[in-house]
Chain A
Amino acid sequence: MRPRFTYGGELFLWRWLRLTMANRYVISPFAIITMLAALLLPLLLDPFGFLILFLDNILVFVLLTLGLQLILGYAGILNLGHAAFFGLGAYTSAILTKTLGVPFPLAFLASTLMGLLGGLLMCPIIRLRDVYFAMASFAFGIVAYVVFSEWRELTNGHIGIRAIPPARLAGIDFTSSLNFYYLVLPCVIVLYLVFRLLLISPFGTSLNAIRQSELAARSVGMHLAAIKVKTILIGAAAAGAAGSLITHLQGFVSPELFNWPQSITLVTMMVIGGIGSFPGAIIGTFAIQFMSEYLRFLVEYKMLIYGGVLVFFMIFLPKGIAGVVRALVVAALERRSAR
């Protein structure tokens, strides 16, 4: 029962952090602090300002990147078509609430299920290995996009669906950015906790094992295909839920949001934040979103800088921001143990 770093007389917080990193505890003290801060943050912000709307949007994306992190970072599946699940969820919610007048909670569930269904559709290609899967999933995303943009009877084509009713739950109206914040934040927190619980369970061990050696994983009786399928289904369902939320946050959907560049952006968030880390996925989502919003002053140089940042990270910081932080924390822990 020895954890990864053993030393006596350490601070309670350090021990907690260390055991979380060794996947023995569900969440670290920092995660709890972050959650509390996130709950209180709107008190500091202008409830009608841009920032809170921006945060709502980012949090929806966090649902996407957390799911993708499970698929890409933990199971090592190179999914380049994740936005397809997002789109499936979004259109489901849009059509159900607008055209059929279904209440939001039901539409939200239906979107989640549709995401799951999208995951099932992706399952046949799970047999393909690494780069081949990447190509097939990329193609999958493009096919989904064309369906969104061309099945006009259902999706209204490139124009998209407008004037979608806002989310309502238990008599509360989530039209305002502030209210919406308290709709999406619990979703993020619950998803984060569930994913952490999964990760420290034997299922998580299997994911780690498969990524490190498929042969060894098979030899101890792990069912590779089943585990990969489950991962994709879970990630896809989360993306479906995110789709529902984005629909009601924006009040409209159009296919461009779900085209292949979106899938690539999601992967980018993952890689910048740090592959194989849920906090990394969150950090990456914030980093990319803030970059694309607050580099606007660079006008036409913005995308150039953006591309440059990507290349810079891949050359010099391939483990992403979380990788750097992790290395610092491990070094600090080891220094303490050396004393």
Chain B
Amino acid sequence: MGVLTTRQVVKRFAGLVAVDHVDLEVQEGEVRGIVGPNGAGKTTLFNLISGFYPVTSGRIEFLGKDITTTSAHRRAGLGIGRTFQATQLFSEMTVLENVATGRHTSTRNGAWAAVLRSRAFRRSLQRDRELAEEIIDFVGLRGTGSLLASSLPYGQQRLVEIARAIVNQPQLLLLDEPAAGMNLHEIEALNELIRKINETRINGTRVTILVVEHNMRVIMNISHRISVLDFGEKIAEGPPKEIQQNERVIAAYLGSTTGGNASLGSSTGLAAAGGSSGGGRAGA
């Protein structure tokens, strides 16, 4: 079954078309890589899928239901988790508290329950903490629960964000450049983590993941299929091997680099091209 379908989705910002008639069809349990030069509209696409921006036109379906006009907080409740390109943590909260907020849509939230502090209410809070602890271990941050989130090294902060996004067991997870700011060692672990999340079964179905990433080693490694965006348009789609050889993709990347000497045969070459943010498309 298609977990996520976008049909002719368009997002326009005052004259600029950031996402241009994009069709996506992502299957259950798939890891879908989204690549493209800077300013191609990848983050905007994530914002549309998670409901942070309303679409200009087009249609978005999640698990067969039309969610085009569903608000962001409802989509989170339906099972769409996400992280951000620039880390967004609650800086005055501990790691544990950060991750526990991910349970928001499943916790008893009523004001009365809070004031009366019924047993069921306290038990549900307790359960949130236990789950959060579990997930903290799962992403490899064991023992950091009581630390202030903002006191962790950057690479680990990214993991906290992922932990917060998965603690409520979303069916669809959107990761926006998760490897940015991580060292090689951490990237290796991230690869493993994404695979582990993907293999987790929730009510018998596997977690579907969309990843935006400039690091081609990561993307080629973990993606089942890759979609390529350029100037808001989807210019190619297919398994990693095909994408590596696709001429339009190579042209798009070449066009975006000032150096233009990237060796496109190797996956690291694409990484160098896409990662050199200095000469991004937006500036051209």
Contacts and interface: CB of A to CB of B under 8 A. Distances in A.
Interface of A: 1-6, 194, 197-198, 200-206, 208-209, 212-213, 215-224, 230
7 contacts: A198-B114, A212-B92, A213-B88, A216-B89, A218-B72, A222-B101, A230-B111
Contacts of A206: 104
Contacts of B71: 223
A208 B104 contact: no
Nearest to A213: B88
Interface in B238-262: none
Contacts of B107: 202
B84 A203 contact: no
B50 interface: yes
B212 interface: no
A239 B129 CA distance: 35
A2 B145 contact: yes
Interface residues of B, number: 47
B146 A212 contact: no
B146 A220 contact: no
Contact of B76 (A1, A3, A203, A220): A220
Contacts, number: 105
A204 B103 CA distance: 14
A220 B51 CA distance: 12
A4 B146 contact: yes
Interface of B: 50, 52, 71-74, 76-77, 81-84, 88-94, 96-97, 100-105, 107-109, 111, 113-115, 117, 121, 125-126, 129-130, 133, 145-146, 161, 164-165, 168
A220 B164 contact: yes
CB-CB nearest 7 A-B residue pairs:
A201-B114, A221-B76, A2-B146, A221-B105, A216-B88, A212-B90, A223-B73
Contact of A221 (B73, B97, B100): B73
A4 to B, nearest CB: 6
Contact of B101 (A5, A197, A200, A220): A220
B84 A215 contact: yes
Q: Which of B113, B115, B133 counts the most A-chain CB atoms under 10 A from its CB?
A: B115
Given A6-B146, A219-B165, 6 more contacts: A198-B115, A202-B114, A213-B89, A219-B88, A220-B168, A222-B104
B73 to A, nearest CB: 4
A204 B94 CA distance: 15
Contacts of A219: 50, 72, 76, 81-84, 88, 164-165
A198 B73 contact: no
A33 B172 CA distance: 50
Nearest to A194: B115
Contacts of B72: 218-219
A218 B73 contact: yes
A6 B91 CA distance: 19
A6 B114 CA distance: 26
A204 B105 CA distance: 14
Contacts of B111: 198, 201, 203, 230
B73 A208 contact: no
A209 B93 CA distance: 9
A209 B94 CA distance: 12
B116 to A, nearest CB: 8
A202 to B, nearest CB: 5
A197 B125 CA distance: 14
A277 to B, nearest CB: 13
A295 B206 CA distance: 69
Contact of B146 (A3, A208, A209, A230): A3
Contacts of B100: 205
B87 to A, nearest CB: 9
Contacts of B97: 205
B246 to A, nearest CB: 32
A209 B101 contact: yes
A75 to B, nearest CB: 14
A4 B94 contact: yes
Nearest to A205: B101
Contacts of B104: 202, 205-206, 220-222
A198 B116 CA distance: 10
Nearest to B47: A215
A197 B114 CA distance: 6
A213 B96 CA distance: 16
A252 to B, nearest CB: 35
Nearest to A197: B115
A179 to B, nearest CB: 28
A230 B146 CA distance: 30
